[in-house]
Amino acid sequence: MRENVCALHRELVRNNLVAWTAGNVSGRVPGEDLFVIKPSGVSYDDLTPESMVVCDLDGDLVEGSLAPSSDTAAHAYIYRHMPEVNGVVHTHSTYASAWAARGEPIPCVLTAMADEFGGEIPVGPFALIGGDDIGKGVVATLRGGRSPAVLMRNHGVFAIGDSPKAAVKAAVMCEDVARTVHVSRQLGEPLPIPQDDVDRLYDRYQNVYGQRSNR
Ligand SMILES: [Zn+2]
């Protein structure tokens, strides 16, 4: 899991989701009440599997010589309250954060959005870093819904998945559709997709599309 989480940080860079050190990935350790997360303030080029830190589900450091990411409390809250989640990603990616700054959900106006998110990408509450407020806002917004990503108001993206890779994919797709819908808005009002078509697209993509072994 250290190797997996370390390697996935390179995807944040490769997909232009992060500036400086502002973004992090974590992964739940299978069968344990533990997760692996990025150390705080370390540049992506310097990350190694050994430098990843291991925390318990209260966000307390269990293993590692560096301090965990400043977003660790939020990741821990999500793992505590969403047992089906095995990966969490946080970014301030540009277009998605621009929607978050307006407190505006990204409307479902692309088939790719219906596929991945099953509807709009919702906005979560404004919350200050430090305690459980960000984690509470993420869980309250995403639990029971289809979207694996939330735009935390005035802040950025939290994405979840059944694996760390799935959470990274959700963060990448969130930024991609945030950009496209933003561009579309420049030329007029994007057309909505009828809800029953959204439902059909979501069902097909989630249950039929792709290689079975790779899901
Ligand atoms: Zn942040």
pLDDT averaged over consecutive 10-residue blocks of the chain (215 residues)? 98 96 96 97 96 97 96 98 98 98 98 97 95 97 97 98 98 98 95 97 89 57
- Location of structure tokens 């996935």: 8
- Which neighbouring-strand residues pair with 15? none
Query: Which pLDDT does position 180 carry in this prediction?
Result: 98
- From ligand 1's centre to the CA of 65, what distance in Å? 23
Using an 8 Å Cβ cutoff, are 180 and 103 in contact? no
Which of 112-124 are b and which e, b meaning 16 or more Cβ less than 10 Å from the residue's Cβ? ebbbbbbbbbbbb
Q: Quick one: DSSP state of residue 132?
A: S
- From ligand 1's centre to the CA of 201, what distance in Å? 31
- Location of structure tokens 């277009």: 95
Instruction: State how far the alpha carbon of 85 is from the alpha carbons of 20, 78, 137, 181, in Å.
Output: 27, 8, 16, 27
- From ligand 1's centre to the CA of 146, what distance in Å? 22
Query: Which pLDDT does position 204 carry in this prediction?
Result: 95
**Active-site residue identified among 33, 58, 197, 209:** 209
115 classed as catalytic: yes
**Active-site residue identified among 44, 56, 115, 199:** 115
- From ligand 1's centre to the CA of 131, what distance in Å? 13
What φ, ψ does residue 8 adopt, rounded to 5°?
Answer: -70, -25
How far, in Å, CA of 75 to CA of 79, rounded?
Answer: 6
Return the SS3 of 148.
coil
Of 175, 194, 157, give the one whose Cα is nearest residue 116.
Answer: 175
How far, in Å, CA of 103 to CA of 88, rounded?
Answer: 21
- From ligand 1's centre to the CA of 129, what distance in Å? 8
Using an 8 Å Cβ cutoff, are 33 and 80 in contact? no
- From ligand 1's centre to the CA of 128, what distance in Å? 10
pTM score of the predicted model: 0.95
Query: Which pLDDT does position 215 carry in this prediction?
Result: 47
Neighbours of ion ligand 1 (CB under 5 A): 156
